[in-house]
Amino acid sequence: MLGSAVPVPADVAVEPAMPDVLPPIKVRRGLAGFVYRHPTIAFGAALLIAMLSIAVLAPYLGTVDPTALSPAKRTRAPSAEFWFGTDMFGRDVYSRVMYGARVSLTVGFSVAILASLAGLAVGLISGFVRWADGIIMRIMDGMMSIPPILLAVALMALTRASVTNVVTAITIAEFPRVARLVRGVVLSLREQPYVDAAVAAGTRGPMIILRHILPNTLAPMTVQATYICASAMIVEAILSFIGAGTPPSVPSWGNIMAEGRALWQVKPFIVFFPAVFLSLTVLAVNLLGDGLRDMLDPRMAKRL
């Protein structure tokens, strides 16, 4: 009131305006800005989208039936007609590799989603239900003591080969890690004053989970999910490669390599092409994961 009412006398020094020494901050907005700030995410996402497009558009990419046999044209080297050559049954490796993207990506994404959901459920129960915590975590410790590939192998030995069973087996092998992560987050959040406040205010358990716990688990879980996706694609390929994965009738990258294995010293291209595509896809997901981790958790970004 007073300050504004009294007029400033003309002879009183007024604080000069800040000299304009700092260069103007260049604000990059929109997609270009995002790419500039997070090059790893952008590169990973672009590569992943390319692979997804291959999976979705496989029938329209100049492919032929990936299971069509033509014994007369077996083990041809890459040429204009067969871009990636043909395998020992005369099947077109290019078509098989394009269709193979479907299996790898389906397995990767399904396992990432299912393992996250299962891990979230078990982690929440373990974090909130005190008496169950000890038992659940011991079981998770036990499951985590079995190397994931061997656990998946044991499961696949008891079930028929199918993509669904591969997804189930890898999910069972991977979800305990998510459960442990979620439980850790829940335990640290339970001690937060705002959770105490919510409890004191009479907020019901499910509402606390929905409002306070879930939003805080989302970031670490997203990062974890990308790593699970990458690992699931590798495990699927390994399982198929050693004959415990998707049935041989399905062209998956692991299967193509398994079939090319016998000939790899003389016809290395049969193994080479699926290997390159698998590596690029896993690289894309890993880069996405690294980028997301840096973006969602700057403290971790500094450390790793």
Partner 1 sequence: MLAHIFRRIVATIPVMAIVALFVFSLLYIAPGDPAAVIAGEQASPEDVEKIRKGLGLDRPFVSRFGEWSWHILQADLGTSMFTGLPVTQLIVQRLEPTLSLMVVTLILSITIAVPMGVIAAWKAGTWVDRGLMAFAVLGFSVPVFVVGYVLAYVFALELDWFPVQGYTPLSAGFWPWLENLVLPAIALGCVYIALIARITRASMLEVLQQDYIRTARSKGMGQSGILFVHALKNAAVPIVTVIGIGVALLIGGAVVTESVFAIPGLGRLTIDAIVRRDYPVIQGIVLLFSLVYVLVNLAVDVIYTLLDPRIRY
Supply the minimum distance, in Å, between the C-beta of residue 51 and partner 1: 13
Work out how close the CB of 141 gets to partner 1 at its nearest, in angstroms, rounded to a whole number.
5
* The two structure tokens encoding residue 77: 């080297």
Indicate the residue among 208 and 291 with the shorter CB distance to partner 1: 291
CB of 125: closest distance to partner 1 in angstroms? 18
Are 228 and 178 within 8 A, CB to CB?
yes
* Closest CB 16 distance from partner 1, rounded Å: 39
d(CA 270, CA 241): 13
User: By C-beta, is 213 or 271 nearer to partner 1?
Assistant: 271
CB atoms within 10 A of CB 152: 27
Alpha-carbon gap, residue 252 to 257, rounded angstroms = 9
**Cβ 242 to partner 1 shortest distance, Å:** 5
Contact (CB, 8 A) for 254 and 236: yes
Residue ranges that bind partner 1, judged by CB under 8 A:
138-139, 141-143, 145-151, 153-160, 230, 234-235, 237-238, 241-244, 257, 261, 264-265, 268, 271-272, 275, 278-279, 282-283, 286-287, 290, 302-304
Surface-to-core class of residue 188, CB atoms within 10 Å of its CB (0-12 exposed, 13-18 middle, 19+ buried): exposed
Query: Which residue lies nearer to partner 1 by CB, 76 or 177?
Result: 177
Beta carbon of residue 208, minimum distance to partner 1 (angstroms, whole number): 31
Report how far apart, in Å, the C-alpha atoms of 241 and of each of 84, 101, 150, 285 are: 19, 15, 14, 21
- Residue 142 CB, shortest distance to partner 1, in Å, is 3
Residue 294 in contact with residue 300, Cβ under 8 Å?
yes
- Nearer to partner 1 by C-beta: 217 or 281? 281
| H-type alpha helices, the chain | 2-5, 30-37, 39-57, 93-128, 130-144, 148-158, 163-190, 193-200, 205-208, 214-241, 253-260, 269-296, 298-303
* Closer residue to partner 1 in complex, CB, 187/275: 275
Least distance from partner 1 to the Cβ atom of residue 11, Å: 53
Q: Which CB, 63 or 231, lies closer to partner 1?
A: 231
Q: CB-wise, 4 or 145, nearer to partner 1?
A: 145
Helix axes 93-128, 269-296, angle to 10 degrees: 30
Q: Closer to partner 1 at the Cβ: 43 or 212?
A: 43
Question: Tokens at residue 144, please?
Answer: 């985590």
